[in-house]
Amino acid sequence: MCNDTYNLYPPLEPYHSDWLKVGNGHAIYFEQCGNPEGIPVVFLHGGPGSGCNPGQRRFFDPAAYRIILLDQRGCGRSTPHGETEHNSTYELVDDIERLRAHLGIEKWLVFGGSWGSTLALAYALAHPSRPSGLILRGIFLSRQHEIDWFLGESRQFVPEAWQALLDYLPTPEQSEVLDAYSRRIFSADPAVHFPAARRWNDYEGSIMTLLPAESAGTPASDEVQLARARVQIHYIKQLCFVGHRNLLQEACTLAHIPTCIVQGRYDLVCPPLTAWELQQAMPHATLEMIADAGHSAMEHGTRHALIAATERFKHLLTNA
């Protein structure tokens, strides 16, 4: 199958799905689509907390790729839903490696966007012989100044979105947004945690694209909104468990892994400086800065660049 125009591939259904028990009561959902004999690729979703969705299968030629998606701990269809105990980046890295071994895969292409780019790098650093390549979008390295941008500094560009997040809180708590929302979202009272989770998630959703996005359809259920918010806040409060590391310095050791970086020029969630810094640390990597895009992988230019990257890797890895 050919994709000369780099549109999303047609919708497809998994040929296999299951749950993998990974310890401490957690079981991660995973699915496989496309060609069972094709080039293995694993998709790492963002958030933290969002889970995978059917549209993410469509970045890859199903005739050429064995497409593997998973919901990280506490996310999507993984169980227990929204659980934050025994849920850290190190455990997620172990889960990815455990899934690779479970599926009998020697090496696989690793595709991660936003938080998924952090996780992809952490995985590659922990298991440098396993990625056949890296496709990274909307780069996030979990440093304090990146968190500060997302939770405050971005108001310089989207003051109305930030004010909507503040307006939900009493004035005395508006100077401690993360802690104030954390108290509500982790409350045992559904009358408190459900509306707070929805307002929290609405903030990020409102700054995802350069231009206002069309409605994504039926809103997620209260339970899905709550799980996503709890997992995300849990990770943010720990700087995603990697904020103490110098991932830029560590990334210098990944020169043996072909790498493509795609970044929206006007990304308000993960500003482009981080992508540029990563490419400086990994000079063998290509960096494509999309001039008319924000954070979402589904904006036209970003989508085009990501599918073009999967097409290039298809030929590179087929001939390897």
Nearest to 4 by CA among 86, 72, 61: 61
List CB contacts of 127: < 8 A, sequence separation 6 or more: 93, 97
Task: Tell whether domain 16-143+243-318 is in CATH 1.20.1250.20.
Answer: no
Q: For residue 36, give the 3-state DSSP assignment.
A: coil
Across the beta sheet with 16-23, what order do the strands follow?
16-23, 26-34, 65-70, 39-44, 108-113, 131-137, 259-264, 286-290
- Contact yes or no for 315/290 (Cβ under 8 A): no
Q: Please tell me the predicted confidence (pLDDT) of residue 3.
A: 56
Nearest to 260 by CA among 301, 313, 320, 300: 313
- Contact yes or no for 138/269 (Cβ under 8 A): yes
One-letter amino acid for residue 45 of the chain: H
Please report, for the chain, the start and end positions of each structural domain, with discontinuous segments joined by +: 16-143+243-318, 145-240
Tell whether the torsion through CA atoms of 272, 274, 279 and 285 is positive or negative.
Answer: negative
Percent of the chain whose predicted confidence (pLDDT) is above 90: 93
Residue pLDDT tens, the chain, 320 long: 445 567 899 999 999 999 999 999 999 999 999 999 999 999 999 999 999 999 999 999 999 999 999 999 999 999 999 999 999 999 999 999 999 999 999 999 999 999 999 999 999 999 999 999 999 999 999 999 999 999 999 999 999 999 999 999 999 999 999 999 999 999 999 999 999 999 999 999 999 999 987 665 677 899 999 999 999 999 999 999 998 999 999 999 999 999 999 999 999 999 999 999 999 999 999 999 999 999 999 999 999 999 999 999 999 998 76
Q: Please tell me the predicted confidence (pLDDT) of residue 215.
A: 61
Residues designated as active site: 114, 267, 295
Q: Tens digit of pLDDT for each residue in 42-100? A: 999 999 999 999 999 999 999 999 999 999 999 999 999 999 999 999 999 999 999 99
